[in-house]
Amino acid sequence: MLLEYHIQLKQWTSWVSPYTCLAIDTGRHRILIDTGAGSLGPDTGHIVHTLASAGIVPAEIDSVFITHAHADHVGGNTGIGGVPVFPNARFYVGRDEWAFWMSTPDLRALHAEEFVKQMLIATAQRKLGAIEGNVELVDDEQEFLHGIRALAAPGHTPGHMALVLSSNGSQLLCLADTVLHPLHIEMPEWYASVDFDPEQTISTRHRLLAIATNEKALVHAYHFPFPALGYIALKGERRQWQPAQPL
């Protein structure tokens, strides 16, 4: 199975993950799902340029949904000097996610090195704190904008959320970090060191993958190869990722 994904463990020393934020134009709203990693790494922080290539300037974004507060999803909330990148946006964050990171986060259960844990806490509190005056907390199954519904997807983080977008009888299911690699579609029991609660991650994964399969929904998975859009189909007794054609 690993060879199908061009993975040879003896040579596979690292994995370069895409960070694909999703921009949505409903005609009434211009919405961004997550803001990317900002200055987290040397190859991140290009969201303004990427939006510009699609004809969008940050001031036109009026709504931003934060699926969870990991650094690679909130890093683009602010730019140099802590200046907000999306000055006219209302930010939507899961209530449980906000409560976890903005209190005293306990990451002892996380199977990651201590410096990673401290980076996650510091970045989350800094990037969430910068938007605190423009935040609306959302709950499971809440339709916070017309046709856009939040869906609790805990495990990766305590308040991690997915999204369901509905339009003209079709659905787009944004899985965020419910899955981190196409392998997780076929092997949902495999989890990552950054999954806060592995058992809950696996349970959430099974639930959302079943929804995607049964409803034949178009799926967006943040860390999958660009454009990170596709479908989940059954292959024998297992599910498999079927990428959409590149844009």
109 CB-near residues (< 8 Å, 6+ apart)? 196, 197
Range 205-209 contact pairs with CB under 8 angstroms and sequence separation of 24 or more: 205/155, 205/178, 205/179, 208/151, 208/153, 208/162, 208/173, 208/175, 208/178, 209/179, 209/185, 209/239
For 47, phi then psi, to 5°, come to -65, -35
Nearest of 175, 173, 209, 161 to residue 65 by alpha carbon:
161
Is 87 within 8 Å of 173 (Cβ atoms)? no
Mean pLDDT score, 88-99: 98
Query: Is the pTM of the predicted complex or chain greater than 0.75?
Result: yes
Tell me whether strands 30-33 and 63-66 are parallel, antiparallel or unpaired: parallel
> Cβ distance 61 to 88 under 8 Å?
yes
If you average pLDDT over residues 110-130, what whole number do you get? 95
pLDDT confidence of 80, banded at 50, 70, 90?
confident
Per-residue pLDDT band for 10 (boundaries 50, 70, 90) equals: low
Digit-coded pLDDT (tens) for 157-205: 999 999 999 998 889 999 999 999 999 999 999 999 899 999 999 999 9
pLDDT score recorded for residue 1: 52
CA–CA distance, 143 with 98 (Å, rounded to integer): 18
Domains of the chain are: 21-243 (3.60.15.10)
**Which letter does DSSP use for residue 78 in this model?**
B
Average pLDDT over residues 30-59: 91
Q: To 5 degrees, how large is the angle CA 115–CA 120–CA 123?
A: 115
In this predicted structure, the answer to whether residue 246 has a pLDDT above a threshold of 80 is no
For 13-70, give the DSSP string.
---------EEEE-SS-EEEE----GGGSTT---HHHHHHHTT--GGG--EEEES---
pLDDT of residue 224: 95
Q: Give the phi and the psi of residue 24 in degrees, each rounded to 5.
A: -130, 130
Tell me how many helices (H) and strands (E) the chain has.
Answer: 6, 12
Task: For residue 247, give the DSSP letter.
Answer: -
What residue type is 81 in one-letter code?
Answer: G
Closest among 178, 151, 149 to 166, alpha carbons compared: 149
pLDDT(237) > 60: yes
